[in-house]
Amino acid sequence: MLKRKLIGAAIGVTFGVGTLVGATSLAFADQPYIPLISKGFQHQFWQAVKSGAEQAAKEQNVRITFEGPETEAMVDKQIDMLSAALAKKPQALGIAALDSKAAIPLLRRAQKEKIPVIAFDSGVDSDIPLTTCATDNLAAAALAADKMAEAVGDSGEVGLIVHDQTSRTGVDRRDGFLNEMKSKHPNIKIVSVQYGGGDHLKSAEIAKAMIQANPNLKGIFGSNEGSAEGAAIGVKESGKKLVLIGYDSGKEQKDDIVSGLMAGAITQNPVGIGKCVVDSAVKALKGEKLPKKVDTGFYWYDKTNMTDPKIAAVLYD
């Protein structure tokens, strides 16, 4: 066990500005330092990931930071955060890339400096990360497509509001949904695929425009928390009854599912993702071999199973 040398007092917590996490944690000189760069912090999903990372950091006796840009559209801001983190010479690094290609030059630098890189939630188009802790988004979105097909009678017009087309999660959730519809539900027509940056207000406006342009629209799939909740706001404001299928959790989504506004959603295991990235980084520092991917799991939830202990454990506020 590492010999601990106290070098600081209690450290405060803030999101998004690269501060140390853990309001009561103490910094020790010989604790490995592992910065985690997330896609953002405005969604409850990322707060749950942070919580899991904090738990693992405490168990593993490592020091972490958790930061992300104000919105998930700010790729340049995330790259700046990644560069600043590397300048601090960390022992390992966690990254949930907003753009699967833009981060690669900095990750090459980390590799050159022998800093183990762990990807989480969203991978990059490179073999530099030693592992990726993430949901199988292709399979999860395929399940969302099956649930949509069931709810709309396996025929009719459906639209998608996707958080982006640059991250691995955005691409996989879009393609997983579209491919499943094409292969198993040929009588469903995809009339629109739009990108809202995971922003509630932008996604709400997209939903209203989609409904107006497609009067026979039967359903909308929102690919993350902001997309799904934005779609729900848009549908509510349009006054039209549609089938809404979401992704992720959060209080607003859960309330909409209970009320019947949203049929259901896919939930990930964000606490498990956070724990996985820190645990994997520690294993890498110990020289242990890691699998290329760690599937952290997913579930379908609706108002019939939200109180099931297995489901309730991975829903979050």
CA 188, CA 155: separation in Å to the nearest integer? Answer: 4
CA 39, CA 57: separation in Å to the nearest integer? Answer: 20
DSSP secondary structure, 254-298, as one string:
HHHHHHTSS-EEEE--HHHHHHHHHHHHHHHHTT----SEEE---
pLDDT in tens, 79-128: 999 999 999 999 999 999 999 999 999 999 999 999 999 999 998 999 99
Is pLDDT of 252 > 60?
A: yes
Q: Which two tokens stand for residue 165?
A: 């087309």
CA 89, CA 130: separation in Å to the nearest integer? Answer: 18
Is pLDDT of 309 > 90?
A: yes
Q: How confident is the model at residue 43 (pLDDT cuts 50, 70, 90)?
A: confident
Report phi then psi at 36, rounded to 5.
Answer: -115, 120
* Average pLDDT of span 34-40: 96
- The one-letter code for the residue type at 29 is A
Buried b (16+ CB within 10 A) or exposed e, 136-165: bbbebbbbbbbbbbebbeeebbbbbbbbbe
pLDDT for the residue 220: 98
pLDDT for the residue 240: 95
pLDDT for the residue 104: 97
Q: Picking from 4-13, 191-200, 258-267, 281-290, which range would have the lowest pLDDT averaged per residue?
A: 4-13
pLDDT for the residue 24: 35
Is pLDDT of 1 > 50?
A: no
Q: How confident is the model at residue 317 (pLDDT cuts 50, 70, 90)?
A: confident
Domains and CATH numbers, the chain: 33-135+269-297 (3.40.50.2300), 137-267 (3.40.50.2300)
How are beta strands 156-162 and 188-195 bridged, if at all?
parallel
Q: Are 247 and 228 in contact (CB under 8 A)?
A: yes
Q: Are 287 and 280 in contact (CB under 8 A)?
A: no
CA nearest 218: which of 150, 306, 284, 132?
150
CA 238, CA 249: separation in Å to the nearest integer? Answer: 23
Q: How confident is the model at residue 29 (pLDDT cuts 50, 70, 90)?
A: low
CA 232, CA 200: separation in Å to the nearest integer? Answer: 9
- 6 three-state secondary structure: strand
pLDDT for the residue 316: 86
pLDDT for the residue 14: 36
Identify the residue with better confidence: 42 or 172. 172
pTM, 2 dp: 0.86
pLDDT for the residue 16: 42
